Amino acid sequence: MDQREKDRLLNNLRSLPNELADLLGDLDDETMRWRPIPNKWSIQEIMCHLRDMERLAYLARYRKILAEENPYLENVDQNRLAYDNDYLNQDTSAALEEFKNLRTETVRALAAISVEDWSRAGVHETDGRLTIEQLVNRQINGNDLNHLNQMKDIVRLKMPW
């Protein structure tokens, strides 16, 4: 990894809050809460998931890896979080605002470390050894883009074009 790659990844992390705000800005509560298939998450539930994963998984893991040598990284049960926290009855706007603040913290923490520190690692409960760089790539590709596309698909299905 070099500085250019670090900057590219940080820019990717920075972009999601703006993309979410643009997508969610004009949606009404019914659209936010609509589930395309029973037991599949609504846009509102996905937004709450993104917020909680930012706080409990990604940001927490980055901090732990930077503070400890090869720390143990617990798996986060996303379905349990959704159920326990009743995502469907939370405020989507509040979840988005909290997500924006958490993502700013994530970017700030990662921007402040050296390129070499991106190779620091922890041991994930189910996925084994993961470096900060691997976690960031996983966050962008496996979480951010996946859920952004999922939200866009729900909007396309729901909207009466």
Number of folded domains in the chain?
1
- pLDDT of 161 reads 59
Burial of residue 140, with CB atoms counted within 10 A of its CB: 0-12 exposed, 13-18 middle, 19 or more buried: middle
pLDDT of residue 159: 75
**What whole-number distance in Å separates Cα of residue 48 and Cα of residue 126?**
23
Containing domain of residue 95, as a range? 3-158
pTM exceeds 0.85: yes
Q: With H, G, I as helix, E, B as strand and everything else as coil, classify residue 91.
A: coil
Chain mean pLDDT for the chain: 95
- Which residues pair with residue 129 across a beta bridge? 123
% of the chain with per-residue pLDDT over 70: 99
Q: Domain containing 39 — which CATH number?
A: 1.20.120.450
Q: CA 51, CA 87: separation in Å to the nearest integer? A: 11
What are the pLDDT digits (tens) for 73-116? 999 999 999 999 999 999 999 999 999 999 999 999 999 999 99
What are the strands of the beta sheet with 128-131, ordered from one edge?
A: 72-73, 121-124, 128-131
Residue stretches of the chain with pLDDT short of 70: 160-161
